Amino acid sequence: MRLCRECWPRRGQLTTIAGLLNCLPDASVNNLNPRQREAVLAITGPVLVLAGAGSGKTSVITRKIAYLIQDCGVPAHKILAVTFTNKAAREMKERAAKLVHGPEARGLMVSTFHTLGLTMLKRHPETFGLKKNFSIFDAEDSRTLLGELLHKENASDKIDLVRNLISGYKNELMLPSEAMSRAETDVDVFAATVYEQYERHLRAYNAVDFDDLIVRPTLALQNDATLREHWQNRVHYLLVDEYQDTNAAQYSMVQNLVGARATFTAVGDDDQSIYAWRGARPENMAQLAVDYPQLKLIKLEQNYRSTSRILKAANAVIANNPHVFEKQLWSQHGMGEPIRVIQCGSEDSEAEKVATEILNHKLMQRTEFRDYAVLYRGNFQARVLETKLRELQVPYKISGGQSFFARSEIKDVMAYLRLVINPEDDNAFLRIINTPKREIGPATLEKLGGYSQQRGCAMLLACDEMGLGLHVGERAHGRLQDFAQWVQDTARAIIDGDDPLAAIKQMLSDIQYQDYLLDSSPTPKAAERRMESVNSFLASVQRLWDKVEDEEDRDIEAVIRKLVLLDLLEQQAEEDNSDKVQLMTLHAAKGLEFPHVTLMGLEEDLLPHRNSIEAGTVEEERRLMYVGITRAKQTLTLTYASKRKFGGESLPTTPSRFLEELPADELEWEGRSSGRSIEQKQALGNAHLSNLKNLFG
């Protein structure tokens, strides 16, 4: 239902059909199908848009933003759109900006949940017991702190177990005391105990972790009426994308933002909920109907991406899961090619088959390498495929891998440089104070953090204060003073010296960083690769330094800041433009689409994964299969190996149950009649011959 600019302020009074019909549509809803149009115009209460894969949900969200601003007179700064990734938020804002121009778009907020939470923390730090310059711990920072609390350096499995449990507590809005009261096993009691210590140290460090960006604002919204009223006045209309991925904390945040007004649109697809392992609750979509009885449900079932045959397969598989909301995807793109299922003898032959099929198809169809994607359940499945692609000289790119600036060794060096140019960077201080180890334990750091907060100064600066000696032992105080002095000397050498690059290298030599990598890496080869990354980083610093032509304008601080502010997404976007076959996990593929998709490893214990079979969570694995199928636009190929190596032994496999759930009449099995014409077979044979000539010629 749509309201014009004049009607929006009195929307509660428009109770008659005649009154509503006075509001006539405009360009905001042009070129939308009836259900999309309905979703855009429905603004007077809570709305759930059940948006199937490829149904144009982003277009609906951005058109709705434009409609609210241009037709309903809602100020842009009163509209908030929330999604889960920076990439999605950026795309949404760019598309909205094309629809709404000029001053009207000013103040529109499109962000991730975490960015929204961070905004709240920065605007009201005192509400959360934080100083303005609080630090944000990433996953690695959290692991390091937990390792210190557990007095473990190499017990990554135990550290990760505790970290995941703590993250789960936070996602359920459970404080340490509640976690302890609910503990049933010895592991639960232990994790809750560590949780309390972990939180105490974060407070002492004036720090929050990634989960806190959601949890702290949500708890504050629940408990602080003034803060809640402030944000409810700020947000007159809320749009939430990927609602099936929300956890308990995010659901509560939404409730507290919309209040009794309940003017919001939630967009999601419970069939694409694949993140239960990180707290996502697809049942949150059904819960909306319970908490908001007036909820309007709108289904987007027309798919603009895939052929009818691909959608028939997707519908057939996902029909085996129970549903609160039923839907059937359909398309006007025609039936398309049959879905190919290829049985291979081993993982080697599977990888070879996938690689040669891609190359042959490209040659025959005159496509580009970027048109092809290979999806798999686990990253390890890509290793053999990479070898085969390299042998065939097929360019490829592994998506979802670790970025350069996310590597621990690069983060270490960056933290040292950040502290050199900004002695008040507590997060950098905490990262490097024991990298390498300096025998400064977590108890000492907790006391240092508490003292620095009392004094209102940064942790590095507090190390030099004599008063600190009253809180920490003499030896610990001496080590902290020595470290602070070394940082000061290093900063002078880098910033004021004649050769900053030499000073940076000397800094790494002083801390014996290469020896540290050897000690902390699983193999000497791994340590060598990590040191190569450091050297590559130093080369980048050198290049930026050399680009400054005027000697008088050379400023190593500016160079370092430029490196600190390098946007990883820009690098990624540049890589995405290259003509390469895309390799990625099924989780990483969500939200993407490709003309030609291959799903590898359709075997029991792989897809569905063994852990899911044992835990009874095959429904989520089926949703993962559904996500994989619906990435394909034109062709879909499914492969599996009859035998696969486990622990060095080649063992027989069982084809995935999901293959049996596919419509048999839409499949073309390798070895049966392919349905190809004589001309196609001849072309395929010629392509194979050409490939061989290229390889050995």
Active-site residues, by number, are 57-58, 241-242, 272, 631
User: 518 near 524, Cβ under 8 Å?
Assistant: yes
Please name which of 219, 267, 264 lies closest in space to residue 45, comparing C-alpha atoms.
Answer: 264
Question: CA distances (Å), 2 to each of 11, 98, 288, in order?
Answer: 10, 21, 22
Cα 303 to Cα 315: distance, rounded to the nearest angstrom:
12
Strand partners, 651: 644
Label residue 429 left, alpha or beta by phi (over 0 means left) and psi (-120 to 50 means alpha). alpha
**In sequence order, what are the residues at sequence separation of 6 or more whose Cβ sits closer than 8 angstroms to the Cβ of residue 652?**
642, 643
DSSP 8-state assignment for residue 295:
P
List for the chain the helix, strand, coil content (%; round to 5): 60, 15, 30
DSSP 605: B
The tokens describing 613, both together, are 């079979």
| The one-letter amino acid at 30 | N
CA 349, CA 650: separation in Å to the nearest integer? 13
Distance CA 276, CA 244 (A): 10
| Contact call for residues 110 and 93 (beta carbons, < 8 A) | yes
Distance, in Å, from the CA atom of 262 to the CA atom of 46, rounded to the nearest integer, reads 6
- Single out the residue of 225, 211, 213 nearest to residue 169, CA to CA: 211
Which two three-digit tokens encode residue 306?
A: 């895939």
The answer to whether 116 touches 105, Cβ cutoff 8 Å, is: no
Rounded Cα gap, residues 36 and 29, in angstroms = 8
- Rounded distance, CA 537 to CA 115, Å? 28
Long-range residue pairs from 114-123, CB within 8 A, at least 24 positions apart, any chain: 114/210, 114/213, 114/214, 115/86, 115/89, 116/80, 116/82, 116/217, 116/253, 117/212, 117/213, 117/214, 117/216, 117/217, 117/218, 117/253, 118/213, 120/217, 120/220, 120/231, 121/208, 121/213, 121/216, 121/217
What six digits make up the tokens of 383?
Answer: 């290793």
| Alpha-carbon distance values, 470 to 440, 473, 474 (Å) | 16, 8, 9
Distance CA 264, CA 236 (A): 9
User: Which pair of structure tokens corresponds to residue 234?
Assistant: 């700020």
Residue 111 to residues 79, 238, 239, Cα–Cα distance (Å)? 11, 12, 11
Rounded CA separation 315/181 (Å): 43
Q: Of 299, 285, 318, 330, which Cα lies nearest the Cα of 624?
A: 318
Tell me the C-alpha distance between 74 and 37, whole Å: 19
What residues does 597 pair with on adjacent strands? 373, 636
